[in-house]
């Protein structure tokens, strides 16, 4: 296992990287603004679930395969991009937007969670990030490398879920001030739909 000093440095570095808003935070905030606090929190946990998939993949070497194979990277990238763009287009094309979050219609918790998982799982940048970042804090002389990677990766995910959940809570609180306005609901629909399409386009343009 890493030394206490190494582990502390890892946590500090991870926190510094996590708090900077990226695609995952944008996704969580969009869900929180569009559907409320519960949706934002569930999305944050879904993203964390996707992160655990990447940790497992990095542990067994799948991330290395994606990093080394242009075709594997392209497939993962395009599937994730298509999913995000599809969500965005569905929101943009939805005609009957309710006037308040309470009237948006119930979306099952499981679906919200799984959407977050899918969004993160099909983000090849996350796989490459774990592959590049985690080994920097691994010491082969202090035990099994795979175990160290798994521990560091899970720690990263735990820190991330707390950070993403905070963003969700803040976004929901701010969005609450404009709820009840039909005009605001229409603006949220267009903004959230555009963000999802933009995230998808960004994912599609990602390079190895």
How many domains does one find in the chain? 1
- Residue 182 has a pLDDT of 60
pTM score over 0.85: no
Q: For residue 135, tell me if it sits in a domain.
A: yes
Q: For residue 79, tell me if it sits in a domain.
A: yes
Q: For residue 89, tell me if it sits in a domain.
A: yes
Q: For residue 31, tell me if it sits in a domain.
A: yes
pLDDT tens, position by position, 131-162: 777 877 877 777 777 888 889 999 999 999 99
Q: Is 59 within 8 Å of 146 (Cβ atoms)?
A: yes
CA 175 centroid distance within chain = 20
Q: For residue 13, tell me if it sits in a domain.
A: no
Supply the range of the domain harboring residue 159.
24-99+106-204
% of the chain beyond a pLDDT of 70: 75
Q: For residue 9, tell me if it sits in a domain.
A: no
Q: For residue 6, tell me if it sits in a domain.
A: no
Phi, psi torsion values for 69, nearest 5 degrees: -105, 115
- Residue 188 has a pLDDT of 62
Distances (CA, A) of 3 to 20, 59, 97, 137, 140: 26, 19, 53, 10, 12
Q: Is 47 within 8 Å of 167 (Cβ atoms)?
A: no
Of the given ranges (43-52, 79-88, 130-139, 187-196), which has the lowest mean pLDDT?
Answer: 187-196
């Amino acid at each position: 296992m890493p030394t206490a000093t190494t582990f502390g440095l890892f946590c500090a570095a991870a926190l510094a990287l996590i708090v900077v808003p990226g695609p995952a935070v944008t996704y969580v905030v969009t869900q929180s603004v569009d559907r409320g606090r519960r949706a934002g929190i569930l999305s944050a946990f879904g993203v964390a679930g996707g992160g655990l998939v990447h940790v497992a993949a990095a542990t067994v070497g799948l991330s290395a395969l994606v990093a080394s194979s242009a075709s594997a990277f392209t497939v993962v990238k395009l599937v994730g991009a298509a999913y995000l763009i599809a969500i965005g287009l569905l929101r943009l094309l939805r005609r009957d937007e309710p006037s308040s979050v309470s009237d948006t219609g119930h979306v099952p918790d499981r679906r919200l969670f799984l959407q977050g998982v899918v969004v993160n799982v099909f983000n090849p940048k996350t796989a490459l990030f774990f592959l590049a970042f985690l080994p920097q804090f691994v010491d082969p002389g202090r035990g099994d490398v795979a175990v160290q990677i798994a521990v560091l990766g899970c720690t990263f995910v735990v820190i991330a879920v707390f950070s993403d959940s905070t963003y969700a809570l803040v976004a929901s609180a701010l969005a609450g001030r404009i709820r009840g306005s039909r005009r605001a609901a229409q603006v949220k629909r267009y903004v959230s739909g555009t963000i999802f399409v933009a995230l998808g386009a960004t994912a599609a343009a990602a390079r190895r």
